[in-house]
Amino acid sequence: MPINYLKKIQLGEFNADGYKISPSTELESVIEGFYVFARDPKDNTHLIFNDGFPVLVFLPGREDTVEVTGQNGTFEIKAAWASAGSIKNVYVKYHYNTDQIFIVRFYPGAFYQLFGLDALYFRYNPVASFEYIASNNNFSIKNFFQFKSIEEKVAFVSTYVQYSFTKMGAPETLHKTLNYIHKINGKSTVKNVTHDAGVNYKWLERSFVQHIGLLPKEYIQLQRFMHAYLELVASKDVNLMQIAISNGYYDSNHFLKDFKGYTGKTPLEYLKFQTQASLCQ
């Protein structure tokens, strides 16, 4: 999802312009939350990032579009997109009629099971139009956009999930391992994670690939980078070595390599890009 919204989710920064709606008890093992964000028209280009939780991002109207630029070029997405996996150097550009974003955030593994997808579906195309996925799973985008209020949209998605989802097939040990990685903000090694879970690496790797679509190392990297990113954008005086070490990186070069991989820019280039993009609108 756009990393500026993910930042608010991670920090719990909610208000009238950006808020969370919790799912019902019946769906809380599938959906992490529904989110609504009002978009600032002066800020129309954002990095897309995934912290391990697949998302559906709905635009205000069925005919609304955004422009997505990544390693495979630039393409247009209409109505809604799905994103998951390890997203690197991908940016979304909004059009001026995009004033509100509705996001459904799923728990790892549940999304793939709900829509009958292989967990590696997003391996090489981490941002995809939702239209194709929806059409193969009896999710009517046309009916969804007939509803105008957020409450009605939440109810529509909730009803669909309630009648389409079967019992989670992922092992309980995998859930505990994911919770552990989240708890430590990715500040660990795969070796330490396998030790904490009490499993061998081959089992852990197989379970991650089957249910999450990522290697354990990749999932850990997502969590570590996200928290380093949060510290970076909140810093008044940027100290890359301090940010790197405090978030589990070996040194600043390790952090720089990860940062450039995910954003296509160095930390300072990215901060300058954010400032210029805001001023130029």
The tens digit of pLDDT for each residue in 100-157 reads: 999 999 998 899 999 999 999 999 889 999 999 999 999 999 999 999 999 999 999 9
Mean pLDDT of 10-24: 95
Measure the CA–CA gap between 258 and 218, rounded to whole angstroms. Answer: 11
**Which of the two residues, 199 and 205, has the higher pLDDT score?**
205
Q: Residue 26, CB half-sphere, CA atoms under 13 Å: how many?
A: 10
Collapsing DSSP states into helix, strand and coil, what is residue 151? helix
For 236-256, letters b (16+ CB in 10 Å) and e give: eeeebeebbeebbbeebeebb
In this model, does residue 199 exceed pLDDT 90? no
Answer yes or no: are the C-beta atoms of 117 and 208 closer than 8 Å.
no
Give kind and range of the element (H or E) at residue 180: helix 172-183
- Predicted TM-score of the model (pTM): 0.93
Distances (CA, A) of 127 to 56, 163, 236: 10, 26, 32
Q: Which residues pair with 21 in a beta bridge?
A: 34
Average pLDDT for the chain = 91
Which domains are delineated in the chain?
3-164 (2.60.120.10), 172-280 (1.10.10.60)
